Amino acid sequence: MDSTDATTASDLHRRLEEISAHEHGDPSRAPLSARDLTLFTLVSLGITLLGFLVLVL
């Protein structure tokens, strides 16, 4: 437990147990999907290209 936290080690322990028991596989704790990651990269690139388009038009 971080010594600067106002919370206690038992608070943290309780919370980690709660996460492990009730939130394993919960959508809020899902990793970012490969599809979203790819799409995000492509959208960022697309908007960057749009910027270059503004430049040449």
Partner 1 sequence: MSTEGKRRNSAKAGDRADAKADGESVGALGSLPLLRGERIWNGSDFTGVNISLAIATWAFLVGGSTALLVGFQQGVAAMVIGNAIGLGFMILASVVASQRYGVEQYTILRPVFGLVGVGILVFTVILITEMGWSSLLAIMVGRAVTQVSNSAVGTDFGPESLMVTFFALVAIAVSWWILSRGPVTIGRFNKFIAPGLIVVTVFLMVFLVLNTSWNTLLTAAPLAPFEDDRLNFALAVEFNVGVGVSWYPVMGSLARLTKTPRAALWPSYGGLLVATLIAQIVGMAAALTLGDSDPTVWMLPFGGPILGAFILLFIAFANITSTSSIVYSTVLAIRQASGNLLSRVRWAWLCAAFFVLPSILAFFPGFMYTRFMTFVTLSGAFLAPMCGAIIADYFVLRRQRVALEDLYRHRNESAYHFHGGVNLAGLGAVAAGAIFYLVIYNPVTLTAQPIFGYITASFPSAIVGAVVYYVLARVLYVRRGVGGYGPVEKVERRA
Minimum distance of partner 1 from residue 40's CB (angstroms) = 6
Q: How far is CA 33 from the centre of its chain?
A: 10
Q: Which of residues 1-57 bind partner 1 (CB under 8 A)?
A: 1-7, 11-12, 15-16, 18-20, 22-23, 26-33, 36-37, 40-41, 43-44, 47-48, 50-52, 54-55
Minimum distance of partner 1 from residue 39's CB (angstroms) = 9
3-class state of residue 44 by DSSP: helix
What are the φ and ψ backbone dihedral angles of 32, each rounded to 5 degrees?
Answer: -70, 125
d(CA 17, CA 12): 9
Greatest Cα pair distance in the chain? 62
Binding site for partner 1 (CB under 8 A): 1-7, 11-12, 15-16, 18-20, 22-23, 26-33, 36-37, 40-41, 43-44, 47-48, 50-52, 54-55
